[in-house]
Structure 1
């Protein structure tokens, strides 16, 4: 038995062949890629396919416990990519009425070869809890049935991610390729020009050692270290070189090593105004350094001011004689959003207008609305980057705020925002749901409340399950009506406590007294206090509350649109 660690680059045609039989161990986390990551993967692959005729596309590496003489491979790192690629191949084989199923089916399921004693089986087996679900719908190509499932009834988030990603990828593929022939050309690109590095080791200990080394954050050489050598090395004179080296290291200490790398990532975006296509080092040398040939000027006029801006943004610590509290208020809410794509335009505007606090307050209010729209409405990463790239260009042009088209929402975007706010909010991802409820609460509290809960749960007032002999059944006899309202904004309240499965189905009065009230018989949330003031929780009350809460959001986020 071989004991050596081996690694090689393989095209996807080899990765999804009888040479590998992937199994996700039970101790691995569930499938966690959302539509955001799946969309980004597909968009990147499609863009590369359309613009590069001969180059290969590198998809990263996977780490396996695998003996060289056996296909069986436990996946230590790479589960998310392998699972998403399997979904993509299942989609490719199913669209256009499955015209390419015979061509592509074998990359999802090993068809078996009796002469070679290879049994038919899926090429990838998920964790025990989800493998039957994945096999039934994805690996048996039953995507139509998968799309018809009720997402809220699925057993866990991994299955919901499988459903969402399959539906999204299918829509994307159908929109991108009009004929079976076009689709097969794209599939050929995936199989022959897209590569993964498979690192294999025969035992668990060495596999985790490899994984640890590959993902180590320690003091490994960073792109910023190489950029530093490029820049500091051009400064003539030992004294000057030492002075600027000290400045560089002081910024790195202040921002932390990871934060300093983020600074360079954001700088790249400010200069490039588009999604990165190469490594940070390559992109920085391509987009940033040519515009900043003098190393002293780059450090004094670019790096230091942007580092200061990033520090103010990370800590919401902008200072000024006036309006600083307002600026930091909006920055605090921006920092609650689940992505950092808004930071480059924020850094640029803060650097340019640091001494105009009233203007900054106006800008950050508008930026928070734009970022909130994209967060709540789940606008995916590529579209976000395009929007913020165009906004950066407008800031650089010196446009007035009212003339920045990319800072504002158009009529269609406002309508989407309103419709999303009026939908089943509880079915949002936790980060989106929590953000929206707390932001709404802050509007009701007129900005006076502060939010730093160690525990936050979003609870239903009208329970998801209603007993036939309960008070809820009398107030809400229509099951369809309950289903239409239970997950909407008006029926949700934030609490600083863990979920209590027993309390969730209490009658209204008992639920308010024993579950919704805090230690002092009040709630720290304005939304929850409003519920405590009610005597009943009927459809009419919920309807009125929904309209009131939507009006609050529409007024504060200025979503009225043009009156026709």
Structure 2
């Protein structure tokens, strides 16, 4: 017998209560995907409550059972049978809100939130915490609740705490003193849950098992279809045959759900794809007759024909519209589909021409390209695109309306001047998605109108100044350095910028070759982008900046900018810096140069900014040698504590000279991952089976490995690969210029999906893909990832810090030339393989 009631977080947490997560529950495992979805819901709810203070948002159920342990009088104890992931997340969010408000508004907020929602203040252990997570999560959770220096570590709970801290920092508008208070109110009084409480004596494990072993569910399209034809008692058969069946045959099941969502966001951009059926049913309930329902099905059928064109641009008859559809489809942002459907529907209704539709799409393409170039590829992009149809002006031609909408407010539609500056300084190679970066270079190449265009599939992005410079390259770049400049920081500031990048089919052959040798290969290339590079005598800062300027001039011609009324957003780089610093885990550090390379400036302005303006975790920014800057000052003049002592308490190790451990340093590429500049839903280097063709990828991998690392390393890797396949693993190879090798423990056909522990790069890195493992059973359990890290750290010369357990760290391939290290690695890979084949029971249960 169970009792169910709707409640809010305040009611759940106020009073002397304790919620215990049973041992059979999985450890905390929410990733940024779920955290972002929850945060977006909360931000929307906080905005909605401005107009309607009673607004709520339902976030699911919480199944509880009385604890079999009898606690002290006055403490109501419950087992969390289902819903522990969201309950844990919400209390972590409250920790982040508490700490943000205490830091920025006043210490009274710490005591208020802490004592009201996080602890039972007058109870001793073990009844002090209101939520008691599983043992594996307890230390990380306690660090957040008790605000210790270890709060915000590299584990999933620490990642959630850092994520919410970064979001609160970004959402806190100095001109709006109530914005964070509204967010807190939305969390504690606006998030609605159904609390289902079992009775004493119920088998809670059986309840949990039944909740997590449901069968296949009807899709939202299936539910909507059933609803519609329930409303067509006499016309159903005819409507199904003439309208619904053709629609169903032309669109895949997922595309049908997409269609019904697009139809909703056309009216209300806040509707989520998960709410399609409920929202459509609410709308359709207003209709009364069969004729009205039939008219809706006919309208769906017409919109479905337009969606099919969006999904299959080759079916579009107008060449201009077809080209723009193909490019936007290739870009891969589905939230642009509501606008595309609207534009095609306007043309269908006769209120827009094909030329206007193609022009509007060109402005959207330009918007995407320019945002990526300035390092703002993903900032609020979904909200902007989903709102455009409802907010753009209906009084002007559609192309003008689209451009005007994208040009107003903080939408980061970069001006020509911003593009010119960004192309020189922003690390293009670390921004956006890999295929989007390649598309921009590919479209630039197409703009030259070569009579012998090169097949894009055969091309890869090449760093002319290599990522791992040789002594010869160091000497060439050193000629450009000023007396106070550091080679490593100068290299970091140039290597990933657009001026240093090109397309080539000879990426693996070029590698780290000297510029003189690269010139010969580039000179014989059929790619126009390479011709001017090949004519240079040297390749340093002067040449890279000159090429950047030339590319910027071409870019602003190809992709038109915003209207003259568009506001410059010069604070964007500091917002990105603050987001990256907020995500920096406890026990790690970074440098002024790493931050500068990420945001596209120099180390000195970064240091000046941090000295004068408060920023999250600013004490974790050190000099390149790991020393605290001699002129370091806290922005708060009343603060005098030693940043080195604080870093030590957080877990950073220092040598006898006061230099931080370089293995704990978070570099530019890792900062980009943390800040969301490079999307991290999965690693970009996701392997897939390559089609059989003229390229022998295994042979090319070994050829590159031998060429770049020498025969001893190649032999060692040969041994590792042979042992891996003997275990039962398989090998997949990347098709980029550098042919990477993936050690596959499971293929994508496996019921739990594919998984691999490491990727080997001929350039010299054995990369451990913790970021990928974070979302793969059973290594979504932090304890297994931590065991893998500790096992690898047993190898001589390997020291992967705990702060990098959410990233993609690695070690040099030269480590494996030692027979003992190689044998130890093979033991650890065998352990990994066994774990991947037999997931732990806890990992089978999900919310």
Same fold (TM > 0.5): yes
CA distance 1:236–1:107, change in 2 (3 Å) = same
* Structure 2 residue corresponding to 1:317, chosen from 314, 319, 323: 314
CA distance 1:542–1:561, change in 2 (3 Å) = farther
- 8 Å contact from structure 2 (residues 363, 402) kept in 1: no
SS in 2 for 1:414: coil
* Structure 2 residue corresponding to 1:462, chosen from 458, 462, 465: 465
SS in 2 for 1:342: helix
* Structure 2 residue corresponding to 1:558, chosen from 557, 560, 578: 560
SS in 2 for 1:187: helix
- 8 Å contact from structure 1 (residues 21, 72) kept in 2: yes
CA distance 1:115–1:161, change in 2 (3 Å) = closer
- State the Cα distance separating 1:541 from its structure 2 match: 0.9
CA distance 1:80–1:126, change in 2 (3 Å) = farther
- State the Cα distance separating 1:75 from its structure 2 match: 7.7
- State the Cα distance separating 1:475 from its structure 2 match: 1.5
State how far apart, in whole Å, the 1-side matches of 2:462 and 2:65 are: 43
The equivalent of 2:147 in structure 1 is 140
SS in 2 for 1:388: helix
Q: Deviations over 1:269-303 (max 9, x none)?
A: 22x14322894344335557758962333333x21
State how far apart, in whole Å, the 1-side matches of 2:311 and 2:539 are: 41
SS in 1 for 2:171: helix
- 8 Å contact from structure 1 (residues 93, 101) kept in 2: yes
- 8 Å contact from structure 2 (residues 463, 501) kept in 1: yes
State how far apart, in whole Å, the 2-side matches of 1:389 and 1:470 are: 57
- State the Cα distance separating 1:353 from its structure 2 match: 1.8
SS in 2 for 1:537: coil
State how far apart, in whole Å, the 1-side matches of 2:534 and 2:209 are: 52
Task: Map residues 41-80 of structure 1 onto 2, 5 A cutoff.
Answer: 41-61=41-61, 78=86
* Structure 2 residue corresponding to 1:482, chosen from 488, 491, 511: 491
The equivalent of 1:151 in structure 2 is none
State how far apart, in whole Å, the 1-side matches of 2:204 and 2:460 are: 41
The equivalent of 2:255 in structure 1 is 259
CA distance 1:87–1:536, change in 2 (3 Å) = farther
State how far apart, in whole Å, the 1-side matches of 2:24 and 2:503 are: 36
- 8 Å contact from structure 1 (residues 76, 208) kept in 2: no
Q: Deviations over 1:10-68 (max 9, x none)?
A: 53243696314599999876732499646523421312332333354322357999977
SS in 1 for 2:315: coil
The equivalent of 2:798 in structure 1 is none
State how far apart, in whole Å, the 1-side matches of 2:142 and 2:305 are: 51
Q: CA RMSD in A?
A: 5.2
State how far apart, in whole Å, the 1-side matches of 2:406 and 2:524 are: 38
CA distance 1:430–1:299, change in 2 (3 Å) = same
Structure 1 gaps of 5+ residues are: 147-153
Q: Deviations over 1:469-508 (max 9, x none)?
A: 453244134324333323322234567899x9x997x354
State how far apart, in whole Å, the 1-side matches of 2:406 and 2:129 are: 55
CA distance 1:358–1:158, change in 2 (3 Å) = farther
Task: Map residues 345-384 of structure 1 onto 2, 5 A cutoff.
Answer: 345-354=339-348, 357-372=354-369, 376-380=376-380, 381-384=382-385
- 8 Å contact from structure 2 (residues 28, 156) kept in 1: no
Query: So what's the TM-score if we normalise by structure 2?
Result: 0.50
Query: So what's the TM-score if we normalise by structure 1?
Result: 0.71
Q: Which has the larger radius of gyration?
A: 2
CA distance 1:45–1:335, change in 2 (3 Å) = same
CA distance 1:407–1:54, change in 2 (3 Å) = closer
CA distance 1:165–1:116, change in 2 (3 Å) = closer
- State the Cα distance separating 1:202 from its structure 2 match: 8.4
The equivalent of 1:295 in structure 2 is 293
Aligned residues: 523
The equivalent of 1:274 in structure 2 is 269
- State the Cα distance separating 1:559 from its structure 2 match: 2.5
The equivalent of 2:40 in structure 1 is 40
More helix by percentage: 1
- 8 Å contact from structure 1 (residues 30, 127) kept in 2: no
Q: Deviations over 1:128-171 (max 9, x none)?
A: 8x986x8768962779x98xxxxxxx989998886565233224
The equivalent of 1:150 in structure 2 is none
The equivalent of 1:341 in structure 2 is 335
Task: Map residues 372-521 of structure 1 onto 2, 5 A cutoff.
Answer: 372=369, 376-380=376-380, 381-391=382-392, 394=394, 399=397, 401-402=399-400, 406=404, 409=407, 413-415=413-415, 418=419, 423-426=425-428, 428=430, 430-431=432-433, 434-446=435-447, 451=456, 460-463=463-466, 469-476=471-478, 477=481, 478-479=485-486, 480-493=489-502, 506-509=512-515, 512=518
- State the Cα distance separating 1:442 from its structure 2 match: 1.3
